[in-house]
Chain A
Amino acid sequence: MNAMTPPLNATDGRRAARSHIETPRLETPFHARLIALSETNDWYSWSGYKAPHKLFDEELEYFAIRSTAALFDISPMVKYRISGPDAERYLNRLTLRDVRKLGINRVHYTAWCDDHGHVLDDGTLFRLGEDTFRLCCQERHLPWLLDSAFGFSVDIHEETEEIAGLALQGPTSCATLLAAGFSGVERLKPFDIASFPHEAGTVTISRTGFTSDLGYELFVSRALALSLWDRLWQAGKLHGIRAIGYAALNTARIEAGFIVANTDFITAEAALRADRVRMPDEIGLDWLVDPEKPNFNGRKAILEARRNQTLKHILVGLEIEGNIPAEHAIVYHGKKREAGLVTAAIWSPTAKRNIAIATLDRPYGVKFNDDLWVEIYALRELRYQKMMKRARIVPRPFVKLARRTLTPPGTF
């Protein structure tokens, strides 16, 4: 608007100020491609972004992950760039694992807690340089990250909007990347990062994913998003590349035994009820806690809870008889006493097992591991069919594939 532009009248002004209501959900940098591929028009909201629940067929999309190459838009994932001379020390105080052990061009999975040891979120931490990191997670944490920066020389920058992300997962994902010209990608070991030129910029490729399969995640500036998509799409044609929605990915992640914040546990800042918060040990993340490293948020509370044995819950993998997914079923001990809740459950197409992730109230899952049952309510033509099915605690991941870690990966 310049000085010659006539001023808006009041109504136009109000209308202009609320133009956001015309696009109630944000569109990701890949939206143009997704909408062109969407046959089902089935969308959901991921952190305010319009994201596909499925694009053409949930099962076929799932089998793209396990049989060929699946392309999944992860742009809505919350991303922070953390840099500065104290970045390592800052992140070491913020998160559970020892960041000093995270090499440059490496990624690790981690989580972070509040002062009471309650998990705020889990996510992946990318070390892009000596003093530069990227933290990816489900929920937004800018106030917490900024408050944590007191006393540290560190710059925290939210880059969710400006950085586009793609996950390329499946047995032919490496072959697809090679066909797209990213040669050298085959040398990446799990959790390695490398940068490649793309157009006028670079794309950062890491061998990471949420599927327990061979797979990669690609990050690129928003402006280069569509050209990157096209490059992969073109290269992947002979490798069976398919765009997928969250339903397919969710099946794969349950097989992988991965948990999702505010699905399998409630994050400390989202929990409204005092007993819904969780310590790392209560959601299967005890292995992230490093008591030997320098002080970190929640350390005292977590170690005290371990010492005093005041941990109240435990997260377990279950294998359930039959083939009916036990989603949100109550877990019983001896068919009578309530012992917990299933937070995610599927019939696993790859394991050919009926699997679930559940939170149990200790001592169930710790001392009493037998005689566990789940009560499944299957709604069949307007009548619930109730089933009491035996559940067995089994280790996660439910699906373990040699190709996930094989380097160099097989070419197809």
Chain B
Amino acid sequence: MAEDALETRGRQVTRSNLARSEQFNGWAFVMPALVLLGIFMVYPILWSLWMSFQVGRGMNFSFGGLANIIRLTQDPVFLRALSNTMLFLAVQVPIMLILALLCASALNDSKLWGRGFFRTAIFLPCVTSLVAYAVVFKSMFAQDGILNQMLMGLNFISGPIPWFSDPFWAKAVIISAITWRWTGYNMIFYLAAMQNIDRSIYEAARIDGVPAWARFWYITVPMLKPVILFTTVISTIGTLQLFDEPNLLTQGGPSDSTLTLSMYIYNLSFRFMPSFGYAATVSYVIVVLVGILSFLQFLAARDRRR
């Protein structure tokens, strides 16, 4: 009996030693990543939250309570940047996602000639160099650029369109640039999801006399719903953080008509007299917007029948 008890205890000790060593090893493996994430993500997030309640210029700041939030409501440039960003979001994301869905649907046809080429061509923009493509876009949309020349040559317009100096056209250039860059990226998600749909479902629909548009609308779209939700959320987040295209193509101009929230944060921190506290407040506006919009999108996509 006593021996048995001893043995049991011995086994328990071994087991607890084993468990402890597993715990230790586990933590040792994730620690480097956790430390880096902590230093470069968690700490800045918390620090910026604290900063967003600070007022002052440069490195001289003091606690200001809600002063930054009050400043937001009275800041015409912020309101301009916010309305520009929301406009980009409302116009660009739907156009891009519908385009991506149509491209994916067309390129999913196994009988389409050269579909490998088209898939690559449409996907390529999102892996090209940002600066290189900005240079090309700038030259294409210049006053005497290829686009104006072509449109005039085809007699669509009588004089050149001021792409970068007109607020409306500047926005249009930004929207077409982002759409060009990210449509292929979203298309890949749709293509992957479409390839998981059983082909015989479409064949059954064809035999049942369901027209092509209805097969797309009543079969493809509902079956892609989870992927559509995912791409909507990531595109929304991406557009709310829009910085590259306005910065490289228009620098926010003309007269702030393509200024986005991210550009404004950059300007507040690094271009004007540094105002880190206020810049942090503006970045939390993006966080709140992302939270609200994602929540609304999940709500809209929820299947009410289940």
Tell whether A and B belong to one assembly: no
Taking beta carbons and an 8 Å cutoff, which residues of B are in contact with A?
none
Q: Residues on A close to B: CB < 8 A?
A: none
